[in-house]
Structure 1
Amino acid sequence: MRNGRSKLAVLAAIPLLAAACSNGDEDSGSAATTDTELSASLTGAGASFPDPLFQDWIYSYGNDVQQGVDINYQSVGSGAGIEQFLEQTVDFGSSEEFLGEEELAAAADARGCEAVQFPVVFGSVVIAFNNPDLDGLVLDAQTIADIYSTEITSFDDPAIAELNPDLDLPDDEIVPVHRSDSSGTTAVFTHYLTTEVESWADEYGEGKELDWAPGLVGGQQNDGVAQGISQNPGGIGYVNQSFAQEAGLSVAQVVNADGTPIEPTLESTIAASEEADVPDNFQFAIDDIGGDGYPIAGTNWIFTYTCGYEQGAADAIIDFWTWALTDEAAQDVAGELGYAPLGDELTDRVIAELEKTNSENGDAEGAEDDAEGDDADAEEGADEE
């Protein structure tokens, strides 16, 4: 479960990832992008949760697919990403929390057209430690909530010992680390605790930002939390799986809805994502995960607009995300980093939604052409009369 072993588990699951991404066409990945040479400079901002994957995708796309497209993705946190998207200072936004109705209305008012949002990847939020002796420690929602509310303050607490009868637990003081910025990872983590633990829901609730219990350590973005865990003896925190892998942190098994302790792996993340009920508006959460699924799983959404882009920029946005979602090598990289694919049917739905990007620009031009044609027909009819 530590970095090396997690990596082996992920790599062993790559054939499963490839099968999940396949559309039954061996060339489906490369065929998804245009043969036209594109030229654009794009800026995106938002979640740190998918940043390792996005940076890899951006590098590969710019070097191997469309050399004329430059993409700068700024890992600033989901809250800042949504803010910058609504302020229209970036071409696309990213978050682990979807845009709600108020945010969609604000986007439409500011831009003069509708926003588009769609999921691009699933990932697990893991509970990580800097103590290798705790690798594989079993926790459940109640013990995690009690740690973050400071009801549990040491690793040998009776509640943790009950879940780990075969482990010789240290009496080290627990130092919980949380996100100090507006964070989609926090939204996923606290949504899980809120749906599973009534006392947490009553006292703390869920969201991208929280009024945490006193005495906790804060960190900026996922890498800041990983750093906070590593630098504090007894550190424990919640981060995306890829950040735990990169930092070489130990991770907990978390008891799911069926009472089974589950290790966060690519396979268990895929199992969790398959239980998601994804509506037409793509506003959903992954809840009540049982079976082989890891219970703290989240989604990353991308946000664009249906108008206001230069066509070259819109073409590049559509092409890049189509490539990322369908190219076999791109999806293999996702698996290596612990992210789970969308699956065939959902990918098709997402690409259809993605293609609405800048679509109202074309509709508006078409409407003007139709109107001009109608006026000409009317004038011609009047002359004949």
Structure 2
Amino acid sequence: MISNLLKRVAVATAAFAAVAGAAVTSPALALDISGAGATFPYPIYAKWAETYKAETGNGLNYQSIGSGGGIKQIKARTVTFGATDKPLTGQELDADKLIQWPQVIGGIVPVINLDGVKPGDLVLDGPTVAKIFLGQITSWDDAAIKKLNPKAKLAATPIVVVHRSDGSGTTFNFTNYLSKVSEDWKSKVGENTAVEWPAGIGAKGNEGVANNVANTKGAIGYVEYAYAKQNKLTFTKLVNKDGKTVAPTTPTFQAAASNADWANAPGFYQILTDQPGAQSWPITAATFILLPKAPQDTAAAGEALKFFGWAFAKGGKAAEELDYIPLPANVVAMIKKSWTANVKDASGKPLASNN
């Protein structure tokens, strides 16, 4: 069954292809921006691209291939920009002469497929999620799950773990969270964009995980919240760092994001998992853009900065409608200042001077 989100993705992809085709046949009509990477922000990038093209005539050809692929492509300079949910360190950015900034914030949620269980009915905590993905808890009527859900009627349904098969920033943030809440996970698996999964089946992209969970009884996976919402998947609540049970909502994502100290983060490097606060969603993450400091195609890079500047200025409402969190105005100002200071043409002129 094709979900509403995947239908929208297909439409957006077709639109991107049409834009690219138009650029080939009539290059004077539009300037195409190419990007690749994270599937986490794809729903909002697709929405922004649609609106931006209607306003400016310029389009976005974005390949939703996972953060690992996006990092590889921008390092190889085969796209105008890369997108990743795993931020690069200052040393990594310097080595590849890249600039990095957060574009939007969202939440990663466990999603399940259990008969009679509605979104938010089931509560899990970090250690229990870790044991499930370690393959140590294999049935939905396990005592650890029952303890967290004493009133739930849980059958002895086998648990089917679904995880990402591609290099993924969503996986990085999910495994980073599990490493913080489970010493067993940290020592046996650890955190990265790709790990050696102890259990389960792999699927490509947030789209693939969402589809597999939707079509597999007893399944559990992890996806960006927009995918859970648009696919009408059953998400779980989580117990956060303060011991409070919270649901994935805009306020709980905002509560976690409020702890970010962007001003003192070189390269805007921030990890937002397992943040303190009674209202904080435990697996909150920013998604980042990577751009060369000295782009080969200055026209495309300049247009990319215009696009992302436009998204900061006009894309907030669309982001909120898809349950992403726009960045605060003071953080946007810091980001734009970094554009001016770092992204320049061959003569040293900032490409963002008019953004």
The 1:273–1:364 alpha-carbon spacing in structure 2 relative to 1, beyond 3 Å, is closer
Identity level (%): 35
The amino acid that maps onto 2:317 is D
Q: Does the aligned pair in 2 maintain the 1:38–1:315 contact within 8 Å?
A: no
Query: Which residue of 125, 135, 140 maps to 2:125?
Result: 140
Query: Which residue of 333, 346, 357 maps to 2:331?
Result: 346
Q: Could you tell me which residue of structure 2 aligns to residue 355 of structure 1? A: 340
The amino acid that maps onto 1:305 is P
Q: Which moved more, 1:179-188 or 1:154-163?
A: 154-163
Query: Which residue of 146, 156, 162 maps to 2:147?
Result: 162
Q: Could you tell me which residue of structure 1 aligns to residue 164 of structure 2? A: 179
Q: Secondary structure at the match of 1:133?
A: coil
Q: Secondary structure at the match of 1:361?
A: coil
Deviation at 1:106, TM superposition (A): 3.7
**Deviation string, structure 1 residues 136-186 (Cα, Å, up to 9, x no partner):** 210000000000001111111111111111211122111010000000000
Q: Does the aligned pair in 1 maintain the 2:246–2:281 contact within 8 Å?
A: yes
Query: Which residue of 50, 64, 88 maps to 1:75?
Result: 64
Q: Could you tell me which residue of structure 1 aligns to residue 258 of structure 2? A: 274
Q: Does the aligned pair in 2 maintain the 1:48–1:75 contact within 8 Å?
A: yes
Q: Could you tell me which residue of structure 1 aligns to residue 136 of structure 2? A: 151
Q: Does the aligned pair in 1 maintain the 2:295–2:344 contact within 8 Å?
A: no
RMSD over aligned CA atoms reads 1.9
Q: Could you tell me which residue of structure 1 aligns to residue 18 of structure 2? A: none
Deviation at 1:356, TM superposition (A): 4.3
Q: Which moved more, 1:316-325 or 1:274-283?
A: 274-283
**Deviation string, structure 1 residues 25-80 (Cα, Å, up to 9, x no partner):** xxxxxxxxxxxx9952210000000001101101100112x11x221011000000
The 1:38–1:274 alpha-carbon spacing in structure 2 relative to 1, beyond 3 Å, is farther
The amino acid that maps onto 1:308 is P
Q: Could you tell me which residue of structure 2 aligns to residue 94 of structure 1? A: 83
Q: Does the aligned pair in 2 maintain the 1:309–1:358 contact within 8 Å?
A: no
Q: How does 1:1-385 map to 2 (within 5 A)?
A: 39-64=30-55, 66-67=56-57, 69-101=58-90, 103-107=92-96, 114-131=97-114, 133-134=116-117, 135-136=119-120, 137-214=122-199, 216-278=200-262, 279-289=265-275, 290-327=277-314, 330-356=315-341, 358-363=343-348
User: What is the distance in 1 between the residues matched to 2:113 and 2:184?
Assistant: 28
**Deviation string, structure 1 residues 265-306 (Cα, Å, up to 9, x no partner):** 111111111112221421111143222111101110001112
Q: Does the aligned pair in 1 maintain the 2:140–2:159 contact within 8 Å?
A: yes
The amino acid that maps onto 2:42 is D
Deviation at 1:332, TM superposition (A): 0.9
Q: Does the aligned pair in 1 maintain the 2:52–2:59 contact within 8 Å?
A: no
Deviation at 1:100, TM superposition (A): 2.5
- In the alignment, structure 2 segments of 5+ residues that lack a partner are 4-27, 351-355
Instruction: Calculate the TM-score normalised by the size of structure 1.
Output: 0.79
Q: Could you tell me which residue of structure 2 aligns to residue 110 of structure 1? A: none
The amino acid that maps onto 1:142 is P
User: What is the distance in 2 between the residues matched to 1:325 and 1:138?
Assistant: 35
Q: How many residues align?
A: 319
Counting helix residues as a fraction of each chain, which structure ranks higher?
1
Q: Secondary structure at the match of 1:93?
A: strand
Larger gyration radius, structure 1 or structure 2 = 1
Q: Does the aligned pair in 2 maintain the 1:155–1:174 contact within 8 Å?
A: yes
Instruction: Calculate the TM-score normalised by the size of structure 2.
Output: 0.86
Deviation at 1:132, TM superposition (A): 5.5
Deviation at 1:99, TM superposition (A): 1.5
Q: Which moved more, 1:48-57 or 1:287-296?
A: 287-296
The amino acid that maps onto 1:254 is L
Q: Does the aligned pair in 1 maintain the 2:44–2:318 contact within 8 Å?
A: yes
Q: Which moved more, 1:268-277 or 1:94-103?
A: 94-103
Deviation at 1:102, TM superposition (A): 5.0
Q: Secondary structure at the match of 1:218?
A: strand
Q: Secondary structure at the match of 1:269?
A: helix
Higher RCO (CA-CA < 8 Å; seq separation 6+): 1
The 1:133–1:361 alpha-carbon spacing in structure 2 relative to 1, beyond 3 Å, is farther
**Deviation string, structure 1 residues 232-284 (Cα, Å, up to 9, x no partner):** 11011000001111111110001001111110011111111111222142111
Q: Secondary structure at the match of 2:130?
A: helix
Deviation at 1:222, TM superposition (A): 0.3
User: What is the distance in 2 between the residues matched to 1:166 and 1:186?
Assistant: 31
Q: Does the aligned pair in 2 maintain the 1:39–1:312 contact within 8 Å?
A: no
The amino acid that maps onto 1:42 is I
Q: Does the aligned pair in 1 maintain the 2:173–2:273 contact within 8 Å?
A: no
The 1:334–1:364 alpha-carbon spacing in structure 2 relative to 1, beyond 3 Å, is closer
**Deviation string, structure 1 residues 322-347 (Cα, Å, up to 9, x no partner):** 010121xx211111111111112111
**Deviation string, structure 1 residues 70-92 (Cα, Å, up to 9, x no partner):** 21011000000000000100000
Deviation at 1:364, TM superposition (A): 7.2
